[in-house]
Structure 1
Amino acid sequence: MVKVFLSEILYIESLKDYVKVKTISGEVISYQRISYLEEKLPDRRFLRIHRAFIIATDKIRSFSASAIEVGGQELPIGRQYKADVMKVLGIQ
């Protein structure tokens, strides 16, 4: 068991039946589905941007129409999530 504080999460990446939780201090791999974590995380602080990625909205460093930079990593915005992402980021 590893305790991960919500405030330290940068992003979560899906690895099929596993997820990689990237934090400020490192990363943790867990046997979970990303959809399960998406349900459990608070909507105000986390945003699904791609079928493989959930990001912490307060950790966004920059963004464009196709990608978001979080923790030095550029993550793609999926087509089916783009409208929601743009709405949350205030671009529409």
Structure 2
Amino acid sequence: MEASSVKHTVQLFTHTSTGCPFCTTFQDGEKIDENINHLLQEHGGQLLHVGTETSKNYEGETHHATLALIGFSVVPEKRLPKPGNIRFSQSGE
């Protein structure tokens, strides 16, 4: 895939869990290798960059994370949550 054909990018971080933008697979941030493989093998992504990010947390401690940027030639469809998967509760429950 050439850079000019990239229409959508996905960022993965070791400290962030999320859902796959193309399907319902949960992506545990600590399993970034599995997440990268899923996006490459199942959805045809191309690994654009792997690196590290260093920042300070809210307590001022240094935090290190691995990040990956994956490019796609297609944009994922917007998905709405399935009925029944969202639960609201009132305070005190």
TM-score bracket for the superposition, by shorter chain length: 0.3 to 0.5
- Indicate the structure (1 or 2) with the bigger Cα radius of gyration: 2
- Greater share of residues in strand: 1
- Greater share of residues in helix: 1
What TM-score do the two structures reach when normalised by structure 2? 0.32
What TM-score do the two structures reach when normalised by structure 1? 0.32
